[in-house]
Structure formats: structure tokens, C-alpha cells
Amino acid sequence: METLHTRYGPVPIEGKADRHPDGTPSAAYVDAPVAFETSLGRLTPQHTIDDRRRLHKPPVTFFQNGQVRSLPLENRTVVETPAGPLPAELVTFHENGAVARVFPLNGKLSGYWTEADEGRLAETLRLRTPLGPLAGKFVAVAFDPEGRLRSLTLWPDTELPVPTPAGNAPVRLGLSFHPGGALRSVEPARPLEVQTPVGPVWAYDPDAVGISGDDNSLAFDAAGRICRVATVRTAITGRGPDGGRLEAAPLVRESICGDGDHELTPLVLEFDAEAVTVRHGPGRPEAVWPLAATAFAARPFVSAFAVSFAPKQCSM
């Protein structure tokens, strides 16, 4: 057993520590009980492997300034956060020491322990949010470096009714907030009609990935105006000042499962004060149309109704 000297005191570790280019530690496996004094109180890093959920011992990681970055915990511990008390098996921190994310569960998924197994351990938690109290099952709760609630990541089977600037919406996967507390984005659980600068659009992305709740399909600026929407049910047309016709719609492509079925790629519209930017997915913009000089119309994307909205689950 070696000893790693840190700002939290000597830490017994297994093997050698990984290091930043300047020689300061970047990651290490803790090998015996030790306490870290953090902004959330005294926390004990995971140093044992105890059951099939934890057949893997994750490392503690550090920023270059010595501040702990990621801290898997030996036991589930209730920590006091700006959103209220939360049970935690993993916590991460910003470089200034403030809490970044709290993960109520941190089991290692494997052939012996599935996401469904882990999800059955998730409990309903009640949080303080800028929208008022919200209760649900959360994969992670995220904060910015100043301690303000940044986002909520939901378990796949969780829906929350959320008041948005576009009306009440059933939300899945995640939602996020601006620093001032205004709602920044949500992931609609079902197609939701919203009013945009180019007309009514049905907001929904069937393939949205809930890795984190930071960025979602329906986004608002700090004043509550829609600034981004992803849709698989709406196409838009426009006629420019020169009479030219503009068109944009979701894409229908062959399923990646290769079974002859088809799936949809959402049309993503991003708005600012002067223009709408058109793209499909996270790639480069495909077009930028001026709002003031273009007459827009939105219509149902008929092809969408022949394609299942359910994400494909490819079999091996």
C-alpha cells in the first residue's frame, strides 16, 4: 500500500496514482478508510468491493489544483445541497470546491447487474427548485460553481409535470435552468405543440439520450422565448423576399438495425432575434433564414405518421 499526499491529508492507495503533466495526482484507487473534508462535509471514498453492484472500485479523481473532482463513496450518504438533502453514492465537484453533481446511485452495470436492477433501487426524492418543489427519481442533480441548481437528470421510467413558458408539459430524461432560475430546457415526454417564430411546431425527439439533463430538445432563453426546438412531426416552408421557396423537414432514414424499418431524424430549429437556423442533429447548420424578410408556414410532416416514434432496440 502506498500513501498519496493530498490537500485532504495522506491517502492510502492501491498501486500507483495517475498524474497530471505537472506531477500532481489526477486519479487514484483508495485502499483503506480515510475521510475527505469537502463542501458537503466529511466524506469517505469507496475503498472496498462489497456486492455485485460494486464489483468495480472506481478511482477518486483530482483537478490539477488538488481539489477532488470525482468522489465515489464507501456508503450511501445523505448530503446537504442547495436543492435539499440528497442521498449520494457518487459526488463530483467544481474546481472551486463547490458541488457539481450528486448521484443517488452509482452501481456498476454489467451482465450481472442491469439498468433495470439499478433503477429498482431508485427512490422518489423531493427537491427545492426554481419551479417550486419537484418530486421524482433522479439519476443526477447538477449545480453550477455558485451553488445554483443547473439541471436534473431523470430515470428512464420517470415523468415530471413541469410548468414551462410554453405551457404545462410532461417531461422525461431531463430539465435545466438558467443561472437566474428561469427554465432553460426540457425534454418533452410526448409531442408538445409550441408556438415559434415560424409557426406552431410539435416539439419531440424520440431518440433523445438522457445522459444528462443539461441540454434538451425544447429550450428557452432567460426571458422565456423559445430558442431551440427539435421535431419529428412538423415541416416548415418559407418564401423569401426574392420569391425563392425554402423548405425544411425531419428526415426519414433506414433503421440502423438493418431490419428494413425506418426511423426519424429530428428537424432542429434554433431561433435568435433575427434568424432561424436549420439543422438535423448536432452537426453544422444547413441553412439560416432571416425572420423579418421571410413568410413562414408550418405543416404536419405526414411521413412521420408511417414511422414508429419508439427508439429502435436492435437485437444481437
Residue type, 222: A
Q: Output the nine-digit C-alpha cell for 304.
A: 412521420
pLDDT band at 108 (very low <50, low <70, confident <90, very high): confident
What pLDDT is attached to residue 315? 43
Question: CA 293 to CA 277: how far, in whole Å?
Answer: 14
| Predicted TM-score of the model (pTM) | 0.89
Look at residue 19 in the predicted model and tell me its pLDDT.
96
pLDDT band at 304 (very low <50, low <70, confident <90, very high): low
Question: Can you give the pLDDT at residue 59?
Answer: 96
Q: Higher model confidence: residue 159 or residue 51?
A: 159
Taking the alpha carbons of 224, 226, 229, 234 in that order, is the dihedral positive or negative? positive
Residue 306 in this model has a pLDDT that exceeds 80: no
Average pLDDT over residues 53-69: 92
The answer to which of 15-24, 241-250, 303-312 has the lowest mean pLDDT is: 303-312
Please give the order of strands across the beta sheet that includes 245-248. Answer: 245-248, 234-239, 295-300
297 has a pLDDT exceeding 90: yes
Q: Which long-range contacts (CB under 8 A, 24 or more apart) does 59-65 make?
A: 59/18, 59/27, 59/28, 59/29, 60/11, 60/27, 60/28, 60/29, 60/30, 61/26, 61/27, 62/6, 62/24, 62/25, 62/26, 62/27, 63/95, 64/20, 64/22, 64/24, 64/26, 65/24, 65/95
Asked whether residue 314 carries a pLDDT value surpassing 60, the answer given is no
* Mean pLDDT, residues 283-310 taken together: 80
Q: Which residue has the higher pLDDT, 175 or 215?
A: 175
Residue 151 near residue 207, CB atoms below 8 Å: no
Name the band, by pLDDT with cuts 50, 70 and 90, for residue 34: very high
Mean pLDDT value across the chain: 90
Average pLDDT score over residue span 188-210:
91
Among 54-58, 98-102, 260-264, 300-304, top mean pLDDT goes to: 98-102
Cell representation of residue 219: 429550450
The residue type found at 181 is G
- Structural domain boundaries in the chain: 1-158, 191-308
DSSP for 228-279, written as a single string? EEEESSEEEEEE-TTS-EEEE--EEEE-TT-SS-EEEE-EEEEE-SSEEEEE
**DSSP code per residue over 12-32:** EEEEEEEE-TTS-EEEEEE-S
Grid cell at residue 7: 490537500
Higher local confidence (pLDDT), 60 or 312: 60
